[in-house]
Amino acid sequence: MACRIDDIFDRLRRCGRTTLIPFVTAGYPSLDDTTRVLRALEEVGVDIVELGFPFSDPIADGPVIAASMHQALKRGVTPPAIFELVNGLRSQTGLGIVAMVSHSVVRRMGTPAFMAEASGAGFDGIIIPDLDLEGAVEESLGDLAAAGGMSWSLLIAPTTSPERLGRLVGLSRGFVYLLARCGITGERAQAPAVDRRVDAVRRHTDLPVAVGFGISRPEHVAAVTRTADAAVVGSALVRTMGEGADPAQAAVELIRTLSVGLAVRNVSPRG
C-alpha cells in the first residue's frame, strides 16, 4: 500500500531539500488550536508533522511536553477525538501526519484496532517511543503499519549497539528516527553532533534519517541536516505555542526562524 511519507521524502530528495518535522501535542492548547496550527504549518512549507497523543505518564518527554500532555488530558482529549481531528483534516491537507503514541495507549485499544483506526483516520505513520525491539517484532507492528500505508519508525539512541542498530533500521519503513541525545526531550544550548551516527545508519539503509531531541535553534538544524534528511523540533515549538497569544502564529514564526538552518544539497532519490 502506498505511503505518503515515502512520496514526501522522495520529492524532497529530488529537490535536494531537507526538512523540519514539528512535533505538536494533540489538543494543546486545544483541539481547535491543533487544527489551526497544522494548517498554518503547511502554509509555511512544512511537509511532515508528528502529532503526539497525550499520555499521563510520558516516558521520554521533558517537562514542557509532559505539561502540554497533562493540560490536553485535563481538557478531555482522547484517541477517538484525535482520530476525528485528523479525519476532518485529511481531505484538506497534503501534510504527512505521523502519530507519536505510547504503547500503553495502543494496547488499551488493542494493537490491530489502533493501527486500523489510525490508518482509517488518515495518519501516515506511527512512532511508539516506549516500545522495545522485541515488542515490535512480537506484535508485527511493522506489518500492520505497512498494511495501512503508514510509515513505522523505531527510535535509535546514541547508546544503541551496532548489531541492535541494524535490527532497528531493518524493521523501520518510511524513515529512521535517530535520537540526538540520551535522556528526555527538552531544549539544549549545544548543537548535536550526529554526523557519524547518521553515517552508521546509512550503512544499513537508504531510508531517510530524521534526528530529534534538543533541537531548538537554527544552528542545531544546520548541524543535523548537514547529513540527515530532517530535524525534529518538539519542546521549543510546544513551549513557544504555549507562550504565544496566538499558538498558530507563534508556531509559524518559530518554524520560519529554524528553517534558516536547513541544508540544501543534492541527494539522489531512493531506488
Alpha carbons 155 and 179: distance in angstroms, whole number: 7
50 is catalytic: yes
Rounded CA-CA distance 261/270 in Å is 24
Who contacts 55 (Cβ-Cβ below 8 Å, separation ≥6)? Answer: 69, 73, 101, 102, 104, 105
One of 6, 47, 61, 139 is an active-site residue; which one? 61
- Residues 87, 90, 95, 96: what is their CA dihedral angle, to the nearest 10 degrees? 50
Query: Are 229 and 196 within 8 A, CB to CB?
Result: no
Catalytic residue among 6, 32, 33, 50: 50
All three cell numbers of 227: 547529513
Residues annotated as catalytic (active site), given as ranges? 50, 61
